[in-house]
Amino acid sequence: MKRAKKKKRRTIPIPVASMGDIAFLLIIFFLVCSEAVKDNSSLAVALPTSEHVKKTKASVVAYVTVDENGEIYFDNNRVDSAKDVEWGVRALLTNTISDDQRHVQFKCDKSQSKEVFQPILQAIAEAGGIIEAVGEIEK
């Protein structure tokens, strides 16, 4: 009887030489595309609620925050009045072409009264910004 010939196992090498290059390319891609967060999430702000709030896709050019003490922050920097916000937004929007580039995020503590927030809303509008008022979904 003839003995079955043992088949020789072929080794299939996976090419891993370029893996490192691919990985570094990915890192560089993420580094270039990432945008540093300028959000004032560290500030004490209790957001208002509404059933109409939804996730927005608009890219924001400036961040305006009013905390629980009524202090105003423009792009993380404390400012004295609504007029400073208007100048800041106006300066940022000087070269804007489309409406997509005019969105200004507005975060305000829900307990603040009209005397505090309304001048800021008007200042943003006067400077040509579209207000993105941040809130939470009402449960």
Partner 1 sequence: MKKRRSSDIPVDSFSDIAFLLIIYFMVATTLVKVKSITADLPAGEKSTQAKSEKTPIINLRGGEMFFSDKRVKIAELNERLAALDLPNQDGEKRVIMLEAAKGTPYQNYFQALSAISANGGVVAIVEDE
Using CB under 8 A as the criterion, which residues of the chain lie in contact with partner 1 when the complex forms? 16, 19-20, 23-24, 26-27, 30, 37, 39, 48-56, 58, 103, 105, 108-118, 121-122, 124-128, 130-137
Nearer to partner 1, 56 or 76 (CB): 56
The answer to whether the beta carbons of residues 102 and 75 sit under 8 Å apart is: no
Nearer to partner 1, 43 or 135 (CB): 135
- Cβ 13 to partner 1, closest distance in Å? 15
- Separation of alpha carbons 42 and 62, rounded Å: 17
- Cβ 71 to partner 1, closest distance in Å? 14
- Separation of alpha carbons 93 and 100, rounded Å: 11
Nearer to partner 1, 9 or 54 (CB): 54
DSSP secondary structure letter of residue 120 = H
**Dihedral sign, Cα of residue 48, residue 49, residue 52, residue 58:** positive
- Separation of alpha carbons 114 and 137, rounded Å: 22
- Cβ 107 to partner 1, closest distance in Å? 8
Nearer to partner 1, 3 or 52 (CB): 52
